């Protein structure tokens, strides 16, 4: 009688162990889903950094090519005023 039932019992036990490993073990489905989310987050960060790098490369090219970019930067960051120019400073209205 036991000789007929040992194979299904062993197979069901193996199936249970494999299911446990699939859902709760190392490299399980929840691990895969969390890694997939991490990959999406990292891909977004990489895209942002690539866009920033493109802007920096454009800035570098502008600075290498012409003096207009250097002059613009000096005006914005250092407050450059050429001789013969009049500087006007517009202040926002005071709030009470």
10-21 per-position pLDDT tens digit: 888 888 888 888
pLDDT: which is higher, 33 or 21: 33
Q: What is the DSSP letter of 76?
A: I
- pLDDT above 70 coverage of the chain, percent: 97
Rounded distance between C-alpha atoms, residue 37 and residue 31, angstroms: 10
As given in the structure block, the two tokens for residue 37 are 């989310």
Whether pLDDT at 43 is above 80: yes
Place of tokens 């299911």: 19
As given in the structure block, the two tokens for residue 23 are 């859902």
């Amino acid at each position: 009688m036991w000789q007929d039932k040992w194979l299904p019992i062993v197979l069901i036990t193996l199936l249970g162990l494999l299911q446990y490993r699939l859902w709760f073990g190392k490299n399980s489905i929840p691990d895969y889903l969390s890694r997939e989310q991490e990959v999406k987050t990292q891909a977004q960060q990489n895209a942002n950094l690539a866009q920033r790098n493109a802007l920096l490369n454009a800035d570098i090219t502008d600075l290498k090519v012409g003096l207009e970019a250097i002059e613009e930067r000096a005006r914005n960051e250092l407050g450059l005023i050429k001789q013969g120019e009049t500087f006007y400073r517009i202040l926002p209205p005071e709030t009470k």
